[in-house]
């Protein structure tokens, strides 16, 4: 069974990933019809406009995945480091404990740079031009490109450091490297979750403490009712970049933050913002950031264990060409596994959001304001309130707007 399983799973990953990408593309092409539930809360004109924005985004997402998979296939069939760059750094012949992390760093950084370039046109279309066409974006293309460059640089550093560590741990601990790599992922994830509000988020946006007296009173009342101590709620200067309204919860321990978009505060009445605050406190109360981190680490462990089952012959303790083959195969495996397991992570995320909604409804005892807030936020963000079934299953991290309204009803 082990040998047959080893031969099947790589083909299985490619087949399912490509099928999902095609289904995502088709979801943006197939005709759609408004349901009676949607027409109860949204007029046909709004639904048509939301589809006009959402459908190209689904097509773009599917095409982006297909092109990325093609680049992944070509990249993993080449020898970008051992045959071309490695000799420049004297990384040839037998692997050494000092050379392995340098080799992994070069390979990780190169992979990150390649996929940054491949995804640029699709990210630009979906993240800027499509948003601009429907009045959601308020920044210039140059500003958008600067943010993209910042994110890409962070990705390059993360992939480089990750590649260096995995290469070293494969070389030093060939039988237990997957356990050590998972433990390291968990530790880094916890640290980054704590540092994100303090270090990463300010790179892209400006924040200031909430000063609205009425809202601060609501924060105190809600946090007291929830049994939580909320020292500070931050306001993000989102209006400089987008017309969207939103809020989020981030951080772990002393860095936990509730963040409100200034667009939300400026456009929505107090009773609707109150529910948004209660929802974010629900994430805080139930420890969703930490649970998400732990479940992500479990997913990494499952991925690496499956890789070892699929490639029991993979070894990285001899020559640099062997190390590169192992790392490239692992990279492809992780990318494909992450893509086809996206419905699982989205299901978990939707469960967290449902829990936070239920907490907010229980805390506020105001289902009418909740329903109004969902309708108004959907209109402000031009949300696809009832996405195609595949998109909802594969990519929706929140319950759909209609699902949330019906749950409140």
334 assigned to some structural domain: yes
Q: Which of 157, 142, 146 is nearest to 111 (CA)?
A: 157
CATH number for the domain that contains residue 257: 3.30.2010.10
Residue 320 falls inside a structural domain: yes
Q: Is residue 199 part of a domain?
A: yes
Is 80 exceeded by the pLDDT of residue 98? yes
* Residue of higher predicted confidence among 199 and 226: 199
Residue, of 319 and 4, whose pLDDT is higher: 319
Model confidence pLDDT, tens digit, residues 116-165? 999 999 999 999 999 999 999 999 999 999 999 999 999 999 999 999 99
Query: For residue 10, what pLDDT is reported?
Result: 74
DSSP 82: I
Q: What is the pLDDT of residue 123?
A: 97
**35-44, 97-106, 305-314: least confident range:** 305-314
Average pLDDT of the chain is 90
Quick check: 5 pLDDT over 60? no
Give per-residue pLDDT as tens, 238-293.
999 999 999 998 888 888 888 999 999 999 898 888 888 899 999 999 999 999 99
Same domain, 142 and 32: yes
Instruction: Give the pLDDT band of residue 78 (cuts 50, 70, 90).
Output: confident
* Res 227: pLDDT: 85
SS3 state of residue 287:
coil
Residues 258, 390 within the same domain:
yes
Residue 50 lies in a domain: yes
Instruction: Report if residue 369 sits inside a domain.
Output: yes
86 and 143 housed in the same domain: yes
Both 141 and 250 in one domain: the answer is: no
pLDDT at residue 3 is higher than 50: no
The whole-angstrom separation of Cα 172 and Cα 305 is 18
Find the mean pLDDT for residues 397-405.
95
**Is 229 found in the same domain as 198?**
no
CB–CB of 60/77 below 8 Å? no
Q: Are residues 138 and 188 in the same domain?
A: yes
Residues 356 and 402 occupy one common structural domain: yes
Q: What integer pLDDT is reported at residue 76 of this predicted model?
A: 84
Smallest Cα–Cα separation from 352: which of 287, 274, 299, 400? 287
The predicted pLDDT at position 315 comes to 52
**Residue 253 belongs to a domain:** yes
**Same domain, residue pair 77 and 13:** yes
Specify the higher pLDDT residue, 193 or 5: 193
Give residue 90's Cα distance to chain centre: 37
Query: pLDDT at position 87, please?
Result: 73
- Domain with 270, as residue range(s), is 207-288+349-408
The answer to whether the Cα torsion of 355, 359, 364, 367 is positive or negative is positive
Contact 299, 340 (CB under 8 A): no
Query: Would the pLDDT of 408 be above 60?
Result: yes
| pLDDT in the model for residue 314 | 52
Select from 300, 285, 297, 268 the least CA-distant residue to 357. 285
Cβ contacts of 377 within 8 Å, gap of 6 or more: 245, 268, 383
The predicted pLDDT at position 283 comes to 92
What is the DSSP-derived secondary structure letter of residue 126?
I
Domain count, the chain: 2
**Taking 70 as the threshold, does the pLDDT of residue 86 lie above it?**
no
**Residue 299 domain flag:** no
- The answer on 325 and 357 residing in a single domain is no
Q: Which two tokens stand for residue 117?
A: 């370039």
| CA nearest to 371, candidates 382, 360, 387, 381 | 360
Residue at 111 is within a domain: yes
Q: At residue 69, does pLDDT exceed 90? A: yes
Chain segment 309-353, per-residue pLDDT in tens: 876 655 545 788 888 888 888 999 999 999 999 999 999 999 999
Q: The tokens of 205 are what?
A: 């946006």
Residues 66 and 191 in one domain: yes
Check whether residue 193 and residue 219 sit in a common domain.
no
Q: How far apart are CA 386 and CA 401, in angstroms?
A: 7
Same domain, yes or no: 21 and 94: yes
pLDDT of residue 6: 41
For 231, list phi and psi in degrees, rounded to 5: -80, -35
Q: Is the pLDDT of residue 57 over 70?
A: yes
């Amino acid at each position: 069974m082990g040998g047959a399983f080893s031969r099947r799973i790589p083909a299985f990953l490619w087949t399912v990933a490509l099928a999902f990408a095609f289904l995502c593309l088709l979801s943006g092409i197939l005709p759609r019809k408004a349901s009676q539930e949607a027409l109860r809360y949204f007029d046909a004109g709004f639904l048509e406009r939301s589809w006009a924005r959402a459908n190209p985004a689904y097509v773009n997402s599917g095409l982006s995945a297909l092109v990325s998979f093609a680049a992944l296939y070509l990249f993993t069939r080449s020898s970008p480091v051992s045959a071309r760059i490695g000799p420049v750094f004297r990384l040839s012949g037998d692997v050494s404990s000092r050379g392995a992390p340098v080799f992994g760093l070069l390979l990780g950084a190169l992979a990150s740079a390649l996929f940054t370039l491949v995804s640029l046109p699709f990210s630009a279309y979906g993240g800027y031009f499509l948003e601009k066409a429907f009045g959601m974006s308020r920044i210039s293309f140059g500003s958008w490109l600067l943010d993209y460059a910042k994110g890409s640089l962070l990705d390059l550093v993360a992939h480089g450091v990750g590649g260096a560590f995995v290469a070293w741990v494969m070389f030093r601990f060939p039988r237990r490297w997957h356990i050590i790599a998972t433990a390291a992922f968990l530790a880094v994830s916890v640290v980054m979750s704590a540092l994100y509000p303090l270090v990463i988020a300010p790179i892209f946006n400006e924040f200031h403490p909430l000063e609205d007296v009425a809202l601060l009173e609501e924060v105190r009342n809600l946090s007291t009712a929830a049994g939580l101590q909320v020292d500070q709620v931050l306001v993000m200067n989102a209006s400089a970049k987008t017309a969207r309204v939103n809020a989020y919860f981030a951080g772990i321990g002393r860095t936990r933050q509730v963040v409100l978009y200034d667009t939300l505060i400026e456009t929505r009445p107090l009773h609707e913002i109150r529910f948004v605050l209660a929802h974010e406190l629900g994430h805080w109360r139930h420890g969703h950031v930490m649970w998400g981190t732990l479940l992500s680490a479990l997913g990494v462990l499952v991925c690496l264990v499956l890789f070892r089952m699929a490639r029991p012959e993979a070894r990285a303790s001899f020559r640099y060409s062997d190390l590169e083959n192992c790392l490239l195969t692992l990279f492809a495996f992780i990318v494909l596994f992450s893509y086809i397991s996206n419905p699982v992570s989205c299901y978990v995320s939707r469960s967290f959001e449902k829990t936070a909604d239920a907490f907010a409804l229980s805390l506020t005892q105001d289902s009418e304001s909740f329903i109004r807030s969902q309708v108004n936020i959907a209109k402000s963000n031009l949300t696809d309130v009832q996405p195609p079934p595949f998109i909802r299953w594969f990519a929706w991290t929140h319950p759909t707007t209609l699902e949330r309204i019906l749950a409140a009803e």
